[in-house]
């Protein structure tokens, strides 16, 4: 039996229209799962994600909503379960990044970061966990970052780093709370990955520098989050919960 095989499973992926969420949605489909792809309404990359899932021979369902609005997550999750049946795997990758000096950061910028990257991820876990706990099984995978564990010199994003540190802690606390009830909760901490988030002109110089600082001397490619995501979502990781898995070319080992 191949315990990495996701055939017959169904996954709900937030942020599926771009970058790492898209790469994970495709990787889970290649491993055999049908995928409910959740992103902001009209997110352009959703068509590309569904097309790649179809090439993998699996079903894709495109769902629009906003992680800051728990009712929209709940409505989408219910639609996914009506279309596919019980959701076994949830991946929470929706998020934003921007920069700003801490001493002058406007309140609105700080609060928006909290609202999407931390609060939105918690509302997602709550909707997903409630359904999974009722059935006594499920796997949730949250998107953290190496920036939740270390500050990067020259990268002024105290608000982003704070959300990612909180996602790591939230993941471990949820894992402990739900461990005896069949629901595993883990997170991924990517390093510098070549996604649209890192194509912003404001970080272009930093991205070159940080690729140089990475022991592997390059940025990660989006598909390189796929294998770790499949592993933690699969029965191969049945005794893994509360794990923060670094995918960083060795960045946190120096
Ligand atoms: N790219 C990296 O180097 C990197 C490294 C570590 C962690 N991450 C994390 O990975 C996750 C994905 O990043 P990415 O690089 O793929 O970014 P991305 O910008 O390519 O994709 C993010 C997706 O989230 C969606 N999204 C944003 N706000 C949303 C909302 N309120 N409701 C629903 N969907 C929303 C966007 O529409 C987009 O499709 C983020 O949580 C990010 O912090 C990225």
Check if 8 has its Cβ closer than 6 Å to any atom of ligand 1: no
The residue written with tokens 């390093």 in the block is 191
pLDDT exceeds cutoff 80 at 1:
no
**Among 21, 151, 157, which residue has the most ligand 1 atoms within 8 Å of its CB, making it the best to mutate?**
21
- Residue 200 pLDDT: 83
The two tokens of residue 156 are 């002024």
Residues 218-228 pLDDT 10s: 999 999 999 99
Residue 246 lies in a domain: no
Mean pLDDT of 24-28: 98
Q: How many angstroms separate the CA atoms of 53 and 41, rounded?
A: 19
Check if 246 has its Cβ closer than 6 Å to any atom of ligand 1: no
* Nearest Cα residue to atom 11 of ligand 1: 93
Q: CATH number of the domain that 149 lies in?
A: 3.40.50.720
Residues 145-186 pLDDT 10s: 999 999 998 889 999 999 999 999 999 999 999 999 999 999
Residue 80 lies in a domain: yes
Residue 253 lies in a domain: no
Q: How many angstroms separate the CA atoms of 121 and 143, rounded?
A: 9
Closest C-alpha among 228, 36, 60 to residue 124:
36
Residues 110-134 pLDDT 10s: 999 999 999 999 999 999 999 999 9
Residue 82 lies in a domain: yes
- Residue 13 pLDDT: 99
Residue 2 lies in a domain: no
Number of domains in the chain: 1
Side by side, the strands of the sheet bearing 138-143 are: 60-64, 34-39, 10-14, 89-92, 138-143, 183-190, 244-247
Q: How confident is residue 199, by pLDDT bands cut at 50, 70 and 90?
A: confident
CB burial string 161-182: b at 16+ within 10 A, e below: bbbbbbbbebbbebbeebeeee
How remote is the CA of residue 34 from the centroid of ligand 1, in Å?
21
* Nearest Cα residue to atom 7 of ligand 1: 145
Check if 22 has its Cβ closer than 6 Å to any atom of ligand 1: no
- Comparing 82-91, 105-114, 191-200, 234-243, which segment has the lowest mean pLDDT? 191-200
pTM summary value: 0.98
Check if 116 has its Cβ closer than 6 Å to any atom of ligand 1: yes
The HSE-up count of residue 160 (CA atoms within 13 Å, CB side) is 18
pLDDT exceeds cutoff 90 at 202:
no
Residue 5 lies in a domain: no
Q: Considering 84, 160, 210, 231, which one is annotated as catalytic? A: 160
- Residue 111 pLDDT: 99
Q: How many angstroms separate the CA atoms of 186 and 229, rounded?
A: 10
Closest C-alpha among 162, 194, 166, 188 to residue 246:
188
pLDDT exceeds cutoff 90 at 206:
no
Contact assessment for residue 51 and residue 250, using Cβ atoms and an 8 Å cutoff:
no
Check if 97 has its Cβ closer than 6 Å to any atom of ligand 1: yes
Mean pLDDT of 85-99: 97
- Comparing 39-43, 129-133, 153-157, 197-201, which segment has the lowest mean pLDDT? 197-201
Residue 251 lies in a domain: no
Range of the domain at 108: 10-237
Residue 221 lies in a domain: yes
Q: How many angstroms separate the CA atoms of 244 and 221, rounded?
A: 19
- Residue 106 pLDDT: 98
Q: How many angstroms separate the CA atoms of 197 and 98, rounded?
A: 9
pLDDT exceeds cutoff 90 at 204:
no
- Residue 210 pLDDT: 87
Q: How confident is residue 191, by pLDDT bands cut at 50, 70 and 90?
A: very high
Q: How many angstroms separate the CA atoms of 103 and 120, rounded?
A: 25
């Amino acid at each position: 039996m191949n315990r990495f095989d996701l055939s017959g499973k169904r996954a709900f992926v937030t942020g599926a229209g771009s970058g790492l969420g898209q790469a994970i949605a495709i990787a889970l489909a290649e491993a055999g799962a049908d995928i409910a792809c959740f992103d902001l309404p009209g997110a352009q990359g959703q068509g590309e994600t569904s097309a790649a899932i179809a090439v993998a021979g699996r079903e894709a369902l495109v769902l629009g909503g906003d992680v800051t609005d728990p009712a929209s997550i709940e409505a989408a999750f219910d639609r996914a379960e009506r279309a596919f049946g019980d959701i076994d795997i949830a991946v929470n990758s929706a998020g934003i990044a921007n920069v700003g000096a801490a001493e002058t950061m406007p309140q609105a910028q700080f609060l928006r970061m909290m609202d999407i990257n931390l609060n939105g991820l918690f509302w997602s876990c709550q909707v997903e966990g409630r359904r999974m706990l009722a059935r006594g099984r499920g796997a949730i995978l949250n998107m953290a970052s190496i920036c939740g564990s270390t500050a990067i010199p020259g990268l002024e994003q105290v608000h982003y780093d704070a959300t990612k540190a909180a996602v790591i802690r939230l993941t471990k606390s949820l894992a402990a709370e739900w461990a005896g009830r069949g629901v595993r909760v883990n997170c991924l901490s990517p390093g510098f990955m070549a996604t649209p988030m890192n194509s912003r002109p404001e970080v272009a110089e930093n991205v070159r520098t940080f690729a140089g600082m990475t022991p592997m001397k390059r940025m990660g490619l989006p598909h390189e989050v796929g294998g770790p995501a499949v592993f933690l979502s699969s029965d191969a990781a049945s005794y893994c919960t509360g794990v923060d898995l670094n995918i960083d070319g060795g960045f946190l080992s120096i």
